[in-house]
Amino acid sequence: MTDFPKTPEIIPSLFAADPLHYCEALKAVERFGCRRIHLDIMDGHFVPNISFGASVVAAVAKECPQLFREVHLMVQNPQQHFEAFIKKSGAQRLFIHIELAPEVLEETVRCLQSKAVDWGFAVNPETPLETLQVYKGWISNTQHLLLMSVHPGFCGQTFIEETYERIKELRECFPHLKLCIDGGIRTLEAQRLHELGVESVVMGSAFFKKVSV
């Protein structure tokens, strides 16, 4: 097995694995020494694709309880799913999208703040970073931001180069945030992100092609 040299922490995305062999994929994640697993939840509305639900997250928790479970909610009404993901599936960190309708986002954040769960915002590539200033108060209450480097919904996309400049801008505006970059990341991108001080990257297709599943 080949190592990924000088990269941020790698968080494999289970969505990129063969759905008929999730158990084998999770074993490969463990063999590689990863501490976290990324679980993409898509409803076919917020993004044009459907993935899996809370039952898969619960199965991961049962099969690999030592893996920290990050759940990326790409759904229109995330607050309606908190009961399933927090209490029943064992999600340990939730990411919600800043692009949600303002009234939905406000309700979602209020609900999250009342739950005993870690959480952060996710930001799409086309969203101006100035949008985050509108929600600066909320952002000051979380440590995590998931910055998308592809348009969410599908695996195998090409990394958007403008992401590097967005990272620099985020570092200036929100230095307290721990950045996780998600989408189209291969070894070369991961190395450059490491140079920019990015703490972690979500790696899907490139990870499962590189490790032995």
Catalytic residue among 3, 18, 40, 43: 40
Concerning whether 43 is annotated as a catalytic residue, the answer is: no
18 in catalytic set? no
Domain tally for the chain? 1
Is 135 within a domain? yes
Query: What pLDDT score was predicted for residue 197?
Result: 93
Q: Which of 3, 43, 118, 182 is catalytic?
A: 182
The answer to whether residue 13 is domain-embedded is: yes
If the chain, 213 residues long, is cut into consecutive pieces of 10 residues, what is the mean pLDDT of each piece?
70 97 96 97 95 96 96 95 92 96 94 90 97 93 96 95 97 96 96 95 93 58
Domain membership flag for residue 1 = no
3-state secondary structure the chain: CCCCCCCCEEEEEHHHCCHHHHHHHHHHHHHHCCCEEEEEEEECCCCCCECCCHHHHHHHHHHCCCCEEEEEEECCCHHHHHHHHHHHCCCCEEEEECCCCHHHHHHHHHHHHCCCCEEEEEECCCCCCHHHHHCHHHHCCCCEEEEECCCCCCCCCCCCCCHHHHHHHHHHHCCCCEEEEECCCCHHHHHHHHHCCCCEEEECHHHHHHCCC
pLDDT at 210: 79
Q: What is the CATH number of the domain that holds 177?
A: 3.20.20.70
| Structural domain span for residue 78 | 9-210
pLDDT of residue 164: 98
